[in-house]
Homo-oligomer: A and B are copies of this chain.
């Protein structure tokens, strides 16, 4: 016995000291390994001695937030010449795309989180983490004001102030209630791990309450009316998860009330999943109808009381009331108060969201970056800079542009104004020459010359191609990695700028602007059916997409630990079903 034990103990010790070995173990335990289609290797790196002792003070970088953007930034930061302080009320990173699965116990909350200290401790960069909430950014004095995250016992004044040289704001967003009365008090949200846990407890609670002996059937129906507000990916996925949970697991344990359950999905627009391909929307709506999920389109919530939700039909204006047992509110995101306050400080007064330039730097600041859900990139319009573009392109200062001059400036224009590239692509035009031809009629290529007015006319439609990036994990993660790569090459690119020409100023931009690369999006619809919209307009719906979903999510998880846990959660669910204990 003792001998066996020692072998096992040594093995487990080896595995813990060498995470890459343990990953082998996990892969080999997943039959075929196909579930782990790809994955980023992240071997532990040797410690490189930092340069703080040689007199040069390290630049202090303060990162606010440990979500997708902040964590991705920290993971990609490699330059040891920074002294990084991370401030967030959550000491872990959460793999939020699996949050809807947590609401019904398909996946356990702890399986999708990884302590931020674990993520950063093997890096050769000095990174300190404080579990605290930043409640004020002082941009003028380069300070952030913080307080401990958990209310509780603490000697004296526990608040503290941190100085920074660079500030990376990645605090995410809060749920947007559109100031609808009663939402804050009566609805569940689905943004944090705690929200998902609360929803899970509430679902079980509703079933237990509906089973109590002295209720009328009317009351039972009311308690078992689950309402989801918002037909976006989160709301739809939660509705699907809940339907599966009820029909696969709860009906067995609560046979007497199973006929009384009703799931309703309210959407103000005409369709659910309206950011997806039309085929997906149609399939999803059809599946939900077959599943008995009540879809109410064009229905706007005007008030939520403690037991009923009032909706207004957008077309008819008719107001109706829907009794409910639980409401989940998932209608999009709003700006956090601390960001609103910060926006006032930096003069972004009439905006709803914090604006950055294409390099993720907050507009009107010089050392503050913002990424993820808490900010949007305010793309520069071509038409705003049209005179400067014309002047730069017109190298011989002739007052007219030739095709040759144009073509030489084209790369820089496309890099600085991505809408230009999109415009060319969408109009299926291979070069700017085609644009010129279009505006000047069918004349010989060489003889085209444009004056400034012609130029404006030719590009008048370009800016219609601009659109804001969606508030997704994918965008936030890419922004974090992008910003870290800038930080990694800060000095190098100071000397040799790699960005496009400055049309308004002189010289070049230090870095290339951030470009989002869309890798596709999933919409799990329940019953092992998933819709996937992949790049190149490729749409896939059904069980094969569900397996693609399993593989991609398993591979994208942040650590081998979470990967192993999530896969074992899925396996457990297949074998034993979901747990319905009220904890």
Q: Do B158 and A212 have beta carbons less than 8 Å apart?
A: yes
Q: A574 — nearest CB in chain B belongs to which residue?
A: B12
Segment at the interface with B among A48-56, A113-121, A348-356, A402-410: A113-121
Q: Do A160 and B212 have beta carbons less than 8 Å apart?
A: yes
Q: Do B205 and A152 have beta carbons less than 8 Å apart?
A: yes
Interface flag for A314 (CB, 8 Å): no
Interface flag for A254 (CB, 8 Å): yes
Segment at the interface with B among A294-302, A377-385, A452-460, A560-568: A560-568
A302 CB to closest chain B CB, in angstroms? 20
Chain B residues within an 8 Å CB radius of A105? 110
Chain B residues within an 8 Å CB radius of A114? 581
Q: Do A204 and B575 have beta carbons less than 8 Å apart?
A: no
Q: Do B152 and A193 have beta carbons less than 8 Å apart?
A: no
Chain B residues within an 8 Å CB radius of A576? 16, 22, 560-561, 564
Q: Within the assembled complex, what's the spacing in Å between the Cα atoms of A547 and B9?
A: 12
A76 CB to closest chain B CB, in angstroms? 21
Q: Do A583 and B212 have beta carbons less than 8 Å apart?
A: no
Chain B residues within an 8 Å CB radius of A577? 16
Interface flag for A538 (CB, 8 Å): no
Q: Within the assembled complex, what's the spacing in Å between the Cα atoms of A455 and B224?
A: 69
Number of residues from A at the complex interface, CB < 8 A: 78
Interface flag for A252 (CB, 8 Å): yes
Q: Do A575 and B307 have beta carbons less than 8 Å apart?
A: no
A108 CB to closest chain B CB, in angstroms? 7
Q: Do A91 and B16 have beta carbons less than 8 Å apart?
A: no
A510 CB to closest chain B CB, in angstroms? 32
Contact with B along A570-583 (1 / 0, CB 8 A): 00101111011111
Q: Do B131 and A208 have beta carbons less than 8 Å apart?
A: yes
Chain B residues within an 8 Å CB radius of A528? 5, 9
Contact with B along A298-311 (1 / 0, CB 8 A): 00000000110000
Q: Within the assembled complex, what's the spacing in Å between the Cα atoms of A30 and B254?
A: 33
Chain B residues within an 8 Å CB radius of A1? 543-544, 547
Chain B residues within an 8 Å CB radius of A211? 129-131
Chain B residues within an 8 Å CB radius of A160? 212-214
Q: Do B575 and A132 have beta carbons less than 8 Å apart?
A: no
Interface flag for A232 (CB, 8 Å): no
Interface flag for A109 (CB, 8 Å): yes
Q: How many copies does the complex hold?
A: 2
Q: Within the assembled complex, what's the spacing in Å between the Cα atoms of A122 and B169?
A: 55
- Return the contact of A213 from the options B130, B325, B560, B575 (Cβ within 8 A): B130
A549 CB to closest chain B CB, in angstroms? 12
137-161 of chain A: CB within 8 A of chain B: 148-150, 152-156, 158, 160
Interface flag for A194 (CB, 8 Å): yes
236-289 of chain A: CB within 8 A of chain B: 252-254
Contact with B along A45-74 (1 / 0, CB 8 A): 000000000000000000000000000000
Q: Do B131 and A581 have beta carbons less than 8 Å apart?
A: no
- Return the contact of A15 from the options B162, B565, B575 (Cβ within 8 A): B575
- Return the contact of A148 from the options B113, B129, B209 (Cβ within 8 A): B209
Contact with B along A432-475 (1 / 0, CB 8 A): 00000000000000000000000000000000000000000000
Q: Do A115 and B581 have beta carbons less than 8 Å apart?
A: yes
Chain B residues within an 8 Å CB radius of A291? none
Interface flag for A38 (CB, 8 Å): no
Q: Do B155 and A307 have beta carbons less than 8 Å apart?
A: yes
Chain B residues within an 8 Å CB radius of A579? 110, 113, 115, 561
Interface flag for A90 (CB, 8 Å): yes
Chain B residues within an 8 Å CB radius of A113? 579, 581, 583
Q: Do B212 and A130 have beta carbons less than 8 Å apart?
A: yes
A534 CB to closest chain B CB, in angstroms? 16
198-248 of chain A: CB within 8 A of chain B: 204-205, 208-209, 211-215, 219, 222-223
Interface flag for A2 (CB, 8 Å): yes
Q: Which of A117, A205, A575 has the most CB of B within 10 A?
A: A575
Chain B residues within an 8 Å CB radius of A153? 306-307, 325
Closest 9 CB pairs of A and B: A92-B581, A131-B208, A12-B574, A561-B576, A117-B253, A160-B214, A113-B581, A91-B582, A155-B219
Given contact pairs A22-B575, A115-B579, enumerate 4 new A-B contacts (beta carbons under 8 Å): A15-B575, A91-B581, A105-B110, A153-B325
Return 26 A-B CB contacts under 8 Å, by A number. A2-B543, A2-B544, A8-B574, A12-B574, A22-B575, A91-B208, A92-B581, A110-B581, A113-B579, A117-B580, A121-B253, A130-B213, A131-B205, A148-B212, A149-B208, A153-B307, A154-B223, A155-B222, A156-B219, A158-B212, A160-B213, A197-B583, A560-B576, A561-B575, A561-B576, A564-B575
